Structure 1
Amino acid sequence: MSIGFGGADLPVEPDEIVELEEFVLQVGSDPYSLLEDYADRVAARYEVKDLPRPFANWCSWYPYRLGVTEQRVLETARIAEERSLDKLGLRFVQVDLGWEKHNIPSYFEENERFPHGLKWLSQRLEALGFELGAWKGFTCISENHPVARKHTDWLVRDANGKPSSEGRWFWEPHDEIFHLDITHPDAQQWIRENVASLAERGVRYLKWDFGGNLTAPGIRHNPKIACCDALEGMQLAGQIVQDAMNSQGKEGLVLDCTTCETAHIGRFKMFYTNYDTGNTGLGFHHLRNVYTALGTHLFKNQRWALLQPSCLVVGLPGTLEEARMRATATFLAAGHVDISDDLTNLPEDRWQVLLSVLPPIQKSAEVVDLFHPVRISTGGYQALTQGMDVESQQTSEPQGATVWHAPIQADWDEWHLVGLFNFFEPKREASGAEVPMRFEVDFKHLGLNPDETYWGHEFWSGQFLGDVPLPRKPKDAYRHPGNLTALVNDSGPGVLDVAFHGPAIKLLVIRKPRPHPWPVATTFHQSGGLELANVRWNAAAKTLSGELHRPSGQSGSIIIAGIKPSYKAAAAVEGVSVPIRYGANASLCVPVITRDWVTEWCVKF
């Protein structure tokens, strides 16, 4: 083992002492606990405090990019308010790249698509119950910006004394981009004044992007401030930005997209944490990379900062299954939900997906196969048609973040969420048939007692699974492809064995069974029941009752298990009788259309 520190091109004088960074070595048997302990140590060292709880905002980038206008922003806010997103945790409406003069990131002046200015826009948003957010990449100095034309001494220089170039800006107008020299006092003041001007115009949330170029190699005004592949200059810039955002007497939130998060621990309260999700339709291999990267960072969430897993995009042209996968990963991350769809034309099936994410849960899931083995294999269609038992083979290498686990606790029950991410295109066997992917996870890695049986429910399909796990059939028992309709295989005790075709997502709700009727989930929220409250079973009256907390006008169902054949059920919502239907594995579905934030329901047996 070796530990080293980059020199950062820092000149060191004779007899000068330079303090290097601290490091820690930890040893233990639980690797995820070691990560969490490390995160806690760092948080204590840098006095991280008062982090925001998970919330949501809307971002203009993926629906509009450089076509964003103040009218589109206001129409989005109007729809968000109409759909009660403010009641579900949406706080900010954020304009991304495209509001600045000439669409150039180093300008702080508005362009012609924002004729009334950001201050006017912030006031209109406030009237709708939202605050204004803005994207900035101000350390990327355009060749045509006044800083590059009049203040070349504010720029990092190459060995020939010329401004150090980042290359051409990816988007229009494709200007050459230079690096701002954060060690120059005048450059610092330029940042201070311009970021403060955003706060003056009502910007309460700043998405700071592309700031990592402050660490680019080159010659700087003050070589004693470590910048080249180092974080001292970045820390200086971060303090200037945060102070400027706070300049109006109210703390401003900064989302750090600089790729240098460790420079801002204890200062910025939000970190961008993985690859860009992009618009839908980019494919499941892309999502595998994105969400595997996310899974490796979740131990930091709400320890170092509130993490943002890039934008949540669920609209077209991608499939409904892709939308569900994106929504599930965002939900289980329990971080900042950055909605980035065109809400003016979002299909209703995608609205259902989006609303299922809100409000966010408060604690991140753990990715089980980050450290623990998960047996992933393909099923055998031909073997099943011949009545054969197909044994799975454990993969030799991790397949990505495929199994996520989150314990959930409410005032009326506690349970577990298990997300199964099948990122893979189906494989074909010799017969030509496409075969499902099979996931086998030991209960001990899901916080479940291997000697107990639980109730299982799959959120996206609304299928109550009955008892989990299923008893193991004898080796010579008859088997056939129709067995896969149960989703859960006969694994025997202590193993969750699930098979389904992909690419697809399954979100399981697993809870201890009750000797009487009891909710297992709803169709409203991925949590499996955090939207329910005051759930009570009255044994004498044989009634199950509770409250559903969702905005008015939403429709869905409450799924109830533990239904005995002798039961005859009648349901009422807000005192009005509603028809019921029986679902999979002797479950009961109670339809609900919410009347207000609190909707009372009752089922009599």
Structure 2
Amino acid sequence: MAMSICVGLHGVLVLHLALAALQWPYPIPCRIQDGNNPDLFIMTLGQVQTGLAQGTFYPSEDKVILNDGQVIEHYYRDRLGIRFYQPIDKRRFPLPPSGWCTWYYYYSRITAEEVKRNARWIAENLKDYGARIVQIDDGWQVPPRDWTDFNKERFPQGIAEVAQYIRSLGLIPGIWLAPHGQSNETFVMANKEVFLLRPDGTTASQTWEGRFLVDPTTSEAHAYLRGLFERLCQFGFDYFKIDGQPIVVNEYRTKTQFMKGPSGPGEELYRKTITTIRQAIGPDRYLLGCWGIPLEGIGLMDGSRTGGDIVLGWGGFKVALRAIMEYSYLHNVVWYCDPDVMVLRSPLTLEQARVWATVQGLTGQALMASDRLMDLGPERVELMRRVYPAVDIRPLDLFPNNREKRIWDLKVSHLGRKYDVVGLFNFDQSRSEQILLRWADLGLPSDVPIHVFDFWNAEYLGAWEAGIAVDVAPTSCRVLTLLVPDGKVQLISTSRHITQGWVDLKRIDYNDTTSTFTGTSSLIKGDPYQLRFVLPRGRNMAVRSVTAAGLPTRWENHQGWAAVVITSDKTADIDWKVEFMPSELYHYPPEAPSGLNVRPVGLDGVEVSWSEQYWLNAGYRVYLDDKPLVYAPRASLTIGQLDPNTTYNLSVETVSEDGSASGQRTRTTFRIASMISSRIRLSQLEGQRTGRPTRRVRTDMPLTIGQEVYTDALVIAPGSAMTYRLKGLFDRFVAKVAVAQGQDELATVQFRLLGDGRQIWQSEPIGPKDGIRQVEVGIKGIDQLTLEVAGSSGAGRAGRVTAAWLDAELLR
């Protein structure tokens, strides 16, 4: 079955990847903490070497050796708390699963006919792109948790018949269950040795998992689990998603008094049940843990969900995003992470759907769609096709992330091509962002013109030194491919997959004497395949001819780049040849800009603007202290991470597509500290969250406390905090604190202020009935100010309250 998942997807290329995976575990480059840019999240694909690596991780030994020689033994087990650490076994599953799940459209109302409809659609529209698994979720069994039979109303011919139908399409049947639970009381009473029961015969464990829970200490229970999974294997299922696992672990920790056999630590008892399941399904069927993150299954499960259930809409995407950020360090190291499904349908806008597809494509985590696929419009289907299948991506960042990072850098090494696929994200729903992408932050040379290609928009953005400023609309993303120039024509991108060559490109050669590329690519039936070439800056060339095994071809020559399109009437490997010839380069001399203005943004940034040019230009090159900072496509730029007490020299020149500049620059100097107001609202600053998500209250989403309505507040969950960098610029902090009414009236919390890690103020316990309290605290010289909310020892559940800092201000 492992070969049917992998080799069948892309033929020889994936077979090569599967064979390469047999060599795992091997040392990999790593970071164990953020570098200079805390907004950066890094992954690798292929044998990547980068100067951003802080050391090397040796998975067989669970050891990190840092660049300075420091050795960290048992890195995952002790530093990251992964008690059962062992490297993922990639011999049978060299790639994460890619497919479709029924749950997030049909929920428990799935039917056999709807499964078949979606399976047929996948076979006709997505199978050649790498989607293979069709997983039936909750709803097939006798409700709610009876695994002894199937739901005859929804699956009148049984689930085995559906599994065989899926297999007949060349797809892989998968099934969901919560195997430790059971709701059939008649069955339980006839098999009392299998389940946890009280002395009077009633259940000892009634949870979401089921009304009854398997007793992990009896041979009868293990025989029951073995028989259940062997039967499902006989029905034809090769992919198993087992749900509610953290519940099971917790119950086994706390219900030992009801166990019939010798007990022990709950996690060890749990692992024995998973071992039984693993033995029943064998090594060639995929086992996925589910719900939360059952770390106790590491070494036994092939993959695991790493977060809660998503919901339809942007909030659901954020659930998946948090799972990716927090647990990416586990992916393709101990198992394949599953951040839950990818949903692309309305009410998500097309741009929001693109964000969801992009985070899946750039991380390589388990890729399962969950829409009614035949209802998706062509633009959303196109998004799916550009990210299927999940590929062999591994994090460089082997540590958890608590922030929503905006710059995701996938470093790729393939067939001698070394390039970066960079996702730039704006997760905010209300405001646009301008992101400064600096080559040095990515470990790329700053003094050469890096080629930039926009993948989703299929356009070349030029070649620029130092970096590029990129505008990103609310809840949207950009995907840029970056390629270091070699002075020749270069292939920068292909259209098949977001990784731009890894999935489709099998061979590529370039003859510099004849300016000719030859290669072999995997083409998909009816899918126009593009090869995008970039030209040396300052020289223009054009495609002279294209051949591709007699297939229809066309090409487009642009200034600085060219695109070749090949269309095949069947899914096959195609040899192609592209020949270039010299061409004229058009040049328009740029004029110098004028009208330079600077205003502060936060405490460490400025927004710079200048007059827009009337005459033709390709944008602007911005200098800080006479060093190239970034290329800006438009006449404004936001610069962050500056020292507010330093005086900077800023200058701007106009540039053309060939890299030539206006020569003259417009100039100014600035010092942020001298521009900052003596009184600013804390909501104007960006903070760093610790713990659970926070919520900003704005004019369009006010918060009512008593009779007062507040449009400027920060809601922090108990046990969480927000930290702000003040750079020692302020003398006093003033605010109000309160707990909103309407929730747990008995719960209380304490509000705390920390300055540079030291507590400088704390409230008494405050509850919903205690009204609003004033806060005024001296903060002179403090760099990091932390606003914290802690649950108190009072009655009630502090986690169910809305604790808010109101009208918080900083005074100089």
| Fold in common (TM above 0.5) | yes
Of the three residues 414, 425, 432, the one matched with 2:429 is 425
Q: CA deviation at 1:294?
A: 1.1
2:555 is equivalent to residue 580 of structure 1: yes
Distance 2:487 2:494 in 1: 20
Q: Distance in 2 between matches of 1:233 and 1:259?
A: 19
Q: Shift in Å at residue 149 of structure 1?
A: 5.0
Look up the match of 2:667: none
The 3-state SS of whatever aligns with 1:535 is strand
Q: Which amino acid in 1 is paired with 2:430? A: P
> Which residue of the partner structure matches residue 67 of structure 1?
109
Question: Structure 2 matches for 1:390-429, cutoff 5 A?
Answer: 399-427=403-431
Partner of 1:122: 163
What residue number does 1:432 align with?
none
More deviation, 340-349/323-332: 340-349
Q: Please say if 1:505 is aligned against 2:477.
A: yes
> Which residue of the partner structure matches residue 76 of structure 2?
38
Partner Cα separation in structure 2 for residue 454 and residue 496 of structure 1: 10
Of the two structures, which has the highest relative contact order with CA contacts closer than 8 Å and spacing of 6 or more? 1
Give the number of the structure whose residues are more often strand, by fraction: 2
Cα shift readout 1:18-53 (whole Å, capped 9, x = no counterpart):
xxxxx99989689xx979953799799647533612
**Partner SS, residue 373 of structure 2:** coil
Residue 590 of structure 1 aligns with which residue?
564
Aligned to 1:182: 216
CA distances 1:297-345 after superposition (whole Å, capped 9, x unpaired): 2222222112222112223332111221111111222232222222222
Q: Provide closer, same or farther for how the CA distance between residues 179 and 535 of structure 1 changes in structure 2, counting only shifts above 3 A.
A: same
Aligned sequence identity (%) = 20
The C-alpha deviation readout for 1:88-122, integer Å capped at 9, x for no partner, is 43332211111112x32332412222232233333
1:110 aligns with 2:150: yes
User: Take 2:575 and 2:166, find their aligned partners in 1: how far apart are those partners?
Assistant: 33
CA–CA distance in structure 2, aligned partners of residues 502 and 329 of structure 1: 16
Q: Is the 8 A contact 1:136 1:209 kept in 2?
A: yes
Secondary structure at the counterpart of residue 107 of structure 1 = strand
Distance in 2 of aligned mates of 1:277 and 1:260 = 14
Larger displacement relative to structure 2 (189-198 or 335-344) = 335-344
Displacement of 1:527 after TM fit?
0.5
In the alignment, which residue of structure 1 is the partner of 2:139?
98
Aligned to 2:578: 603
Determine the structure 2 residue equivalent to 1:52: 93
More helix by share: 1
RMSD: 3.5
Tell me, yes or no, if the aligned pair for 1:291 and 1:401 is still in contact at 8 Å: no
Q: Distance in 2 between matches of 1:419 and 1:157?
A: 52
| Alignment equivalent of 2:459, drawn from 456, 463, 485 | 463
Q: Secondary structure at the match of 2:150?
A: coil
Q: Which runs of 5+ in 2 are unaligned?
A: 1-60, 582-812
| Pairs within 5 Å for 1:359-508 | 359-366=389-396, 399-427=403-431, 436-469=432-465, 493=466, 495=467, 497-508=469-480
CA deviation map 1:151-194 (0-9, x unaligned): 5665445799852454578xxxxxx7343332343333222211
Letter of the 1:560 partner, please give it: F
Pair 1:577–1:139, CA change in 2 (3 A): closer
Residue correspondence of structure 1 range 205-224 to structure 2 within 5 A: 205-214=239-248, 215-216=250-251, 217-218=254-255, 219-222=257-260, 224=262
Distance 1:107 1:577 in 2: 54
Task: Give the deviation of 1:355 after TM superposition.
Answer: 0.9
Deviations 1:428-479 (A, max 9, x none): xxxxxxxx3122355444232344431111211222121244xxxxxxxxxx
Report which of the two structures shows the higher radius of gyration computed on alpha carbons. Answer: 2
Alpha-carbon distance in 1 for matches of 2:481, 2:324: 22
- CA gap of 1:310–1:260, structure 2 versus 1, over 3 A, is closer
Instruction: Pick closer, same or farther for the CA change 1:47–1:547 going to 2, 3 Å.
Output: closer
How many residue pairs are counted as aligned between the two chains?
A: 505
Greater shift in the superposed pair: 120-129 or 38-47:
38-47
SS in structure 1 of the partner of residue 160 of structure 2: helix
* Unmatched segments (≥5 aa) in structure 1: 1-22, 170-175, 372-397, 428-435, 470-492
**8 Å contact from structure 1 (residues 365, 404) kept in 2:** no
Task: Give the conservation status (yes or no) of the 8 Å contact 1:369–1:403.
Answer: no
Task: Supply the AA of the counterpart residue of 2:499.
Answer: S
Task: Supply the AA of the counterpart residue of 1:225.
Answer: S
Distance 2:488 2:63 in 1: 51
User: Distance between the aligned counterparts of 1:296 and 1:34, measured in 2?
Assistant: 21
User: What is the 5 A alignment of 1:150-549?
Assistant: 150=190, 154-156=194-196, 162-164=202-204, 166=206, 177-214=211-248, 215-216=250-251, 217-218=254-255, 219-222=257-260, 224-226=262-264, 230-246=266-282, 251-257=284-290, 259=292, 261-279=294-312, 282-283=313-314, 285-366=315-396, 399-427=403-431, 436-469=432-465, 493=466, 495=467, 497-530=469-502, 531-549=504-522
Secondary structure in structure 2 of the residue aligned to 1:580: strand
Checking the alignment, whether the CA contact within 8 Å between 1:255 and 1:272 is kept in structure 2 is yes
1:131-163: CA deviations, max 9, x gaps?
A: 221101122332x54345555665445799852
CA distance, structure 2, for counterparts of residue 132 and residue 315 of structure 1: 24
CA–CA distance in 2 between the matches of 1:457 and 1:35? 41
User: Secondary structure in 2 aligned to 1:311?
Assistant: coil
Q: Distance in 2 between matches of 1:369 and 1:257?
A: 21
Decide whether aligned partners of structure 1 residues 410 and 517 sit closer, same or farther in structure 2, where only a CA change above 3 A counts: same
Q: Give 1:117's aligned amino acid.
A: G
Deviations 1:221-263 (A, max 9, x none): 2474235xx30121111011111112xxx63221111546332
Please tell me whether the aligned partners of residues 243 and 289 of structure 2 are also in contact (alpha carbons under 8 angstroms).
yes
Please give the alpha-carbon distance, in whole angstroms, between the structure 2 residues aligned to 1:239 and 1:464.
52
Q: Quote the offset at 1:499 in angstroms.
A: 2.7
How many angstroms does 1:406 deviate by? 1.7
Partner of 2:691: none
Contact 1:314 1:341 in 2 (8 A): yes
Structure 1 residues 134 and 369, CA gap change in structure 2 (3 angstroms): closer
Distance 1:518 1:26 in 2: 36
Q: 1:34 to 1:323 in 2, by over 3 A?
A: farther
